[in-house]
Structure 1
């Protein structure tokens, strides 16, 4: 567990806010590692293979992404409909973030925070990639149907939108200068998707054009989009505390691509 924790955390020791993760409810990673050393425990370098998570570090970018199945398969109570979700830090600063969780109550907010629309990925026909309900239940789960990866590129497929007759393909490509994300709804047959990108509250949007958005930290460039908009939303770093921020919405047909370039 120490090895896995060491692999998933950011350089500053904080955790990504994936699934039912929140700050302020458990010892920090630094405290856990210090305690382990006092107990004379040892840990090794660990890869994130079986977990379905991956971490890319290149130049100013530090990115954690999800290309795995919902799990654990026998009781996925803390899972969200977030297949192909990701978080991105640039120059050590949070940029694209997950919405986190603010409650375990079985209410509208808990339902929203588990749905695809609360994450940095794609909806089809307004539907989540997996059916989340009842606070801790998951049905019609998205399954990874293909995965190809090397050090700086991952191509993955999931079947969460099989009722709509499409498979979602997402390509992550990263180098020292930019992140590229390409989404395709296969087969190409006039299917409509919505791509969502949640920004950290410290990120300021400077300008919005038909094919680009400039922020105080990086620039988005979009290709193959039908419409781009900015909307208000709330994210949670801790339980019972929600913070106002912005998210980008992008409507597209069949396929789209966007890049994130450090400004």
Structure 2
């Protein structure tokens, strides 16, 4: 880093770096949204009235494709998932609404205060989920038919639609940061369209007078708004939501004189070509967002098939690759790996995602060959399997340089499953607020990799900021033994200055992890390799320095860790965020080495064998 740059405050460096990496479309989109949100809202123009006037008095709707898709999707949900949706929808109808594991009790369940609903202490995402009408999604996925749902569930959610239409205006100050945030509009449009199909389609009786018209008018109004507010400024998974929402609007209103279908299909095409990497992984490199985005593409294919429209070849090819990569990422416990911004409970369960894809026509293929090839693996996740478990290593970049929001300092980090049980975990995400937990979840200390001193390999800050990037290089050999080699060197503009090489060898019933660090920082600061254990795993350090990991009952041996070339072995307690708003304590192993005058080399052997083998005496981190 040059001296003038080094002297800048960290916030200035991060904002400067982030802004200079944005693409022109993002900058223009940010400027346009800011102007609309601040300047236009102050004009004496009735924007809400203009949108209302643009909605035709009579609307012809085609709910058949949405009904068919809902049936397919619901059919792939497990009984426990269905019961969960039913329970959550009943509670919401009683006024107890829970998102992000934070609950608000509405005084009047059927008439929520959309602008002052008591969620001020929660992140903005809580309100956006309310604006997206997520409880309606729980009802229609939990109950096959509205007549199967409790009367109060249907009555309350019907009233929510009427209340929203009557009381939530377009153009209020701050509207693009609250009720009319385009991402929330996209999800709202998708949910209301499906709710309309569930509530009023087929032979369902007992639909209240005017409900069909109210739903159709509100969906139409949302589509008009979204078409004018496609999120070029945000990009990423938001554009996929925009594209699918407009595609749904075009299918729902086939006689409308609006190019929604073509626009939505075009957005999905451009976005998919940009965001899906050649191996099928999503470029934000979050397994959670990959599952969400893949599910949206599966829905697009399902709706087109149900509407007797031919899905274009590019859509089928993109979706097939994305589904194959999601299947490749599936761990033994069938729950998402939590790399980068990822938690449980935001996407559909992994088995449901894959079951839905299979039901739509994207069947179970073998793991895609490119991800296990030395020449492939653009996303960068590699599996190293042994007789007793599976290890997943992150050998790819942290995410796109112009979209740092969901990226973590997890380069060369590992996750481990032993006999199907999650043993070494990532940290997950507590929320998207600018706080200590957000910083920890994104920091190198929150991942199973090496930290030099107190520095970050890539500077982080705020909710989403990230400084000068570096990209690892990775080599993978899938023979027996399986070998992974990866390294990265901190960027010249980064505060840290070192190179990290990690080699992982897997054979029979063990993994050997060896780290080398060299550079100015390693000569003055110690290096620490961390292993974060699942909360259900108990860890003890023996006098010899060997580490034993057992199940929560402390009677079932899971793993032995043999530190190599370290000066200190210790355990500490850290936080684990498996879901938004949830924190659990876990044990973390810290292996310290250095500083050294030259190359710092150390590592560990992971041995999960039931026979309790000891580490071979020939193993030496310096060899």
TM band (smaller chain) = over 0.9
**Partner Cα separation in structure 1 for residue 583 and residue 542 of structure 2:** 26
CA distance 1:231–1:12, change in 2 (3 Å): closer
Task: Return the match for 2:408 from 54, 59, 80.
Answer: 80
Match of residue 114, structure 1, among 416, 419, 442:
442
Distance in 1 separating the partners of 2:418 and 2:347? 26
> Residue 231 of structure 1 corresponds to which residue in structure 2?
572
Structure 1 distance, partners of 2:578, 2:458, is 23
Question: Displacement of 1:28 after TM fit?
Answer: 1.3
Distance 1:199 1:65 in 2: 15
Aligned-residue CA RMSD (Å): 1.9
The alignment's TM-score, normalised by the length of structure 2, stands at: 0.40
Range 201-210 or range 221-230, more displaced: 201-210
Corresponding residue of 1:221: 562
Q: In 1, Cα distance between the equivalents of 2:549 and 2:365?
A: 38
Structure 1 residue 211, shift from structure 2 partner: 2.9
| TM-score, with structure 1 as normaliser | 0.93
8 A Cα contact 1:211 1:223, kept in partner: no
Q: CA deviation at 1:93?
A: 0.8
Question: What corresponds to 2:504 in structure 1?
Answer: 172
Shift of 1:8: 0.6
Q: C-alpha displacement at 1:225, in angstroms?
A: 0.6
The CA deviation at 1:158 is 0.4
Query: How far apart are 1:70 and its partner, in Å?
Result: 1.8
CA contact (8 A) 2:455 2:496 kept: no
- Larger relative CO (CA 8 A, sep 6+): 1 or 2? 1
Q: Which moved more, 1:65-74 or 1:180-189?
A: 180-189
Aligned length: 262
1:105-147 superposed Cα distances (whole Å, 9 cap, x missing partner): 1111101110000111111121122111121121122322x43
Bigger helix fraction: 2
Where structure 2 has 5 or more consecutive residues not aligned to the other structure, the ranges are: 1-321, 372-376, 551-557, 595-599, 613-623
Matches within 5 A, 1:175-194: 175-186=507-518, 190=523, 192-194=526-528
Q: Partner residue of 2:255?
A: none
Distance 1:149 1:76 in 2: 26
Q: Secondary structure at the match of 1:30?
A: helix
Contact 1:154 1:173 in 2 (8 A): yes
Moved more, 125-134 or 35-44: 35-44
2:396 match = 68
Higher Rg: 2
Matched, 1:259 2:593: no
Q: For residue 538 of structure 2, what is the aligned residue in structure 1?
A: 204
- Provide the secondary structure at the position in 1 that maps to 2:571: strand
- Give me the whole-angstrom Cα distance separating, in 2, the residues matched to 1:112 and 1:16: 18
Q: 1:3-152 residue pairs with structure 2 within 5 A?
A: 3-42=324-363, 44-45=365-366, 46=368, 47-48=370-371, 49-144=377-472, 146-151=473-478, 152=482
